[in-house]
């Protein structure tokens, strides 16, 4: 009986997609509709990072996040004391999550090589970075990139078999040299 209940639960959970999967499907269908309505209509195979950025800018009209313009007296104020006429835009976090879901959906449908994924294009990453920085500046909240903690290096030279001799980036050797020069 217990096994039967577990089997039913597993069957019901597999029959209805997760919230993430449902959102990913909705986002994918919205993007395909955008391509269909594009003038001239675009096929997915001809879609580039520039088209993805155009789509993100199109979505701004449906945004709910107030982004102060430089001329606004509340530019840089984390908690503005009054209302202003600055535009509402999509929040950076929403755009970033959307791109993540669309990138995954593109890979799942077999859109081609990962290098051909327009959602993973360098231009899209740069655009998202600019949106993040401009929104942080407009709110007066600095965006500090979290620094990765690196383990301290205790050797003065690379040892055999550490990967530097196999045509790697050489990043390990540069760390050792800089550590040696500061010691």
- Tell me the per-residue pLDDT of 12-33, one tens digit each, with 9 for 90 and over: 445 788 999 999 999 999 999 9
Q: Is the peptide bond before 98 cis (omega within 30 degrees of 0)?
A: no
**Looking at the domain assignment, is residue 147 inside a domain?**
no
Domain that holds residue 119: 19-139
Q: Give me the number of domains the chain comprises.
A: 1
- In angstroms, the CA 181 to CA 11 distance is 62
Residue 32 lies inside a defined structural domain of this protein: yes
Reported as a single tens digit per residue, the pLDDT across 119-172 is 999 999 999 999 999 999 888 776 666 667 777 766 555 555 444 444 444 444
In a domain, 72, yes or no: yes
pTM for the structure as a whole: 0.67
Report if residue 162 sits inside a domain: no
CB within 8 A of 76, min separation 6: which ones?
68, 137, 138, 139, 140
Q: Please report whether residue 164 resides in a domain.
A: no
């Amino acid at each position: 009986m217990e096994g039967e209940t577990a089997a039913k639960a597993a069957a019901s959970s597999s029959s209805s997609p997760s919230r993430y999967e449902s959102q990913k499907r909705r986002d994918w269908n919205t993007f395909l509709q955008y391509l269909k309505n594009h003038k001239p209509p675009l096929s997915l195979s001809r879609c580039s990072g520039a088209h993805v950025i155009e789509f993100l800018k199109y979505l701004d009209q449906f945004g709910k996040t107030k982004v102060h313009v430089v001329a606004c007296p509340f530019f840089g104020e984390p908690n503005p004391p009054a209302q202003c006429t600055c535009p509402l835009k999509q929040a950076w976090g929403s755009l970033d999550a959307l791109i993540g879901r669309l990138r995954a959906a593109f890979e799942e449908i077999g859109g081609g090589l990962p290098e051909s994924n327009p959602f993973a294009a360098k231009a899209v990453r740069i655009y998202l970075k600019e949106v993040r920085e401009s929104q942080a500046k407009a709110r007066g909240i600095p965006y500090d990139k979290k620094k990765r903690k690196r383990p301290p290096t205790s050797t003065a030279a690379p040892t055999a078999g550490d990967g530097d001799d196999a045509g790697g980036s050489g990043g390990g050797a540069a760390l050792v040299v800089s550590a040696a020069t500061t010691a």
